[in-house]
Amino acid sequence: MKIATPIYSHVADYESVYEPAEDTFLLLDALESEIGFLKKLRPSVALEVGCGSGVVSTFLFKILGASTTYLCTDKNSEAAACCHVTADLNQAPLNIVTTDLVTGLLPRLENSCDILLFNPPYVVTPSDEIKKPGISLAWAGGVNGREVMDRFFPLVPKLLTDKGVFYLVVVKENKPDEISRLFREMSFSASTVKSRRSGPECLSIMKFQRLGTKSGSHG
């Protein structure tokens, strides 16, 4: 089943908002390849961290429809504003919160998210870069490009329902094997849904589920 890419031409008007790029589109392709699995999941709540333009959650809405509640967060308030416009233009019912990761949503959202999505800032940079506001928030990942995502990983078991699934965008420099090990230690299965080379970047979409989940994949 082919899902149309959401309307996003307005994103170019927002200087500090990440324009959908190869990493975004690889995540969309991964979600499209997971349609059967995602529908079978019958998700009540989907949460995207670092929503940027909002194209990914809008795409997920096009797959799953209005029976799922869509929550989006971004630390950049301009991204949140842009995401509102994307939601309106595509008639997607997104609920957008400007916050660091999921601050303010826990403990209320504990064990409530059936789908978690994160295309994090993954580029290897000096640690100081991640403290800068605006567009550098979109890519600056600090040491191994892992500093922001590493802060989120311990929250994943808290947020996910028993059947829940987490999709994460990574590049080779983030050490995907180490990330898999980290999740296995938290009793999650880890697999790779899609990989693609884009210029110097070797991108992958990783998928995590609690071990023992019936529909879990154990890669």
Ligand X SMILES: C[S@@+](CC[C@H](N)C(=O)[O-])C[C@H]1O[C@@H](n2cnc3c(N)ncnc32)[C@H](O)[C@@H]1O
Q: Which residues bind to ligand X, rule: CB under 6 A?
A: 18, 20, 24, 27, 49-53, 55-56, 73-76, 79, 100-101, 119-121, 137-138, 148
Q: Which is nearer to ligand X, 119 or 213 (CB)?
A: 119
CA-to-CA separations, 131 to 65, 113, 125, 194, in angstroms, rounded: 36, 28, 11, 30
- Least distance from ligand X to the Cβ atom of residue 217, Å: 22
- Least distance from ligand X to the Cβ atom of residue 65, Å: 20
The string of DSSP codes covering 35-47 is HHHHHHH--SEEE
Q: Which is nearer to ligand X, 79 or 193 (CB)?
A: 79
Q: Which is nearer to ligand X, 50 or 164 (CB)?
A: 50
- Least distance from ligand X to the Cβ atom of residue 190, Å: 20
Choose among 133, 124, 118: nearest CA to 17: 133
Q: Which is nearer to ligand X, 47 or 55 (CB)?
A: 55
- Least distance from ligand X to the Cβ atom of residue 108, Å: 17
Distance CA 71, CA 178 (A): 28
- Least distance from ligand X to the Cβ atom of residue 70, Å: 13
Q: Which is nearer to ligand X, 121 or 164 (CB)?
A: 121
- Least distance from ligand X to the Cβ atom of residue 187, Å: 25
Q: Which is nearer to ligand X, 75 or 210 (CB)?
A: 75
